[in-house]
Amino acid sequence: MRNIIIILIFLLLFPLTASISAPRDDYLGQLEKMAKQFDDSFSGFSVERGKELYFRKSTTGKAETPSCTTCHSDSPLKAGQTRAGKPIDPMAVSKTPSRFTDIEKIEKWFRRNCKSVLGRECTPIEKGDFITFLMSQ
């Protein structure tokens, strides 16, 4: 009897957890395809490279925003803050489960923030690395 209840609970929860993360997996899948076109030697996204991007000090973007940490704080587990003082939820998926689940939103902020910090758009590999790093946190 107990087993049946447990199975029932799993069956009920499964579509919920699956539907929250589905857009994230879709998006990563799209990025992976683009990454392969972008670079023949691409062999998967990297937590290490994503971490390096998160903490990188850039000199090629706008002076006010030298790093992703300028707004997203020096830990993906902590809340950040915009330059105008508005709080930003932590970037780590474990802390903010809704992270990277709305493709238009992700694309909009990658475009803006990469241009502000790096002075150019991020490559598909950088985007995938960044998300992979934050899923690991």
The strand pairing partners of 80, in sequence order, are 88
Shortest distance (Å) from residue 100 CB to another protein:
16
Residue 27 engages ligand HEC in binding (rule: CB under 6 A): no
In a 3-state reduction of DSSP, which class is residue 80? strand
Residue 132 engages ligand HEC in binding (rule: CB under 6 A): no
* Residue bearing tokens 């972008």: 38
**Other C-beta atoms within 10 Å of 18: how many?**
10
Of residues 14 and 94, the one with the C-beta less far from ligand HEC: 94
In a 3-state reduction of DSSP, which class is residue 81? strand
H or E stretch including 87? strand 87-88
Residue 57 engages ligand HEC in binding (rule: CB under 6 A): no
75 binds, among another protein, ligand HEC, none (CB under 5 to 8 A by kind): none
Widest distance between CA atoms in the chain: 63
- Which span (1-9, 11-19, 27-35, 104-112) binds ligand HEC, by CB under 6 A? 104-112
Residues that bind ligand HEC (CB under 6 A): 65, 68, 70-72, 82-84, 88-89, 99-100, 102, 105-106, 109-110, 112-114, 116-118, 130
